Amino acid sequence: MTVKRHIGQQVALATAAFCALLALPAFGLFLWLWKERGLADTWTPSALASVAFLGACAGVLYVMSRPQPPLPPLPEENAAVDS
């Protein structure tokens, strides 16, 4: 049985992809800053923090976008109780 994503999960998946795409130029910026200015400059760790933030956002949004399996049926209220 295939479970489909509802609209909220589709938006979360699109946003996760967007965050992952934004992380790529941020990582490139980090590498460039590291090469040009070194790790002692304040811009370099800030760029790395941006990469980590965007990566974490992409991961969390992807997990939120995954379809959930259906819940098991509720037990009947009139079911006999073994005593």
- C-beta of residue 58 within 8 angstroms of C-beta of residue 19: yes
- C-beta of residue 20 within 8 angstroms of C-beta of residue 72: no
Residue 60 lies in a domain: yes
Residue 54 lies in a domain: yes
Radius of gyration of the chain from its Cα atoms, rounded to whole angstroms: 22
Measure CA of the first residue to CA of the last residue in the chain; give whole Å.
Answer: 37
Neighbours of 52 (CB within 10 A): 14
For residue range 23-67, list pLDDT tens digits in order.
Answer: 999 999 999 999 999 999 999 999 999 999 999 999 999 999 999
Residue 33 lies in a domain: yes
Does 70 or 19 have the greater pLDDT score? Answer: 19
Total of domains in the chain: 1
5 confidence band (pLDDT: 50, 70, 90) = confident
Q: In angstroms, rounded to a whole number, what is the distance separating the alpha carbons of residues 32 and 43? A: 11
Half-sphere exposure of 56 (CA within 13 A, CB side): 6
Residue-number span of the structural domain to which 31 is assigned: 7-65
What pLDDT does residue 78 have? 58
69 confidence band (pLDDT: 50, 70, 90) = confident
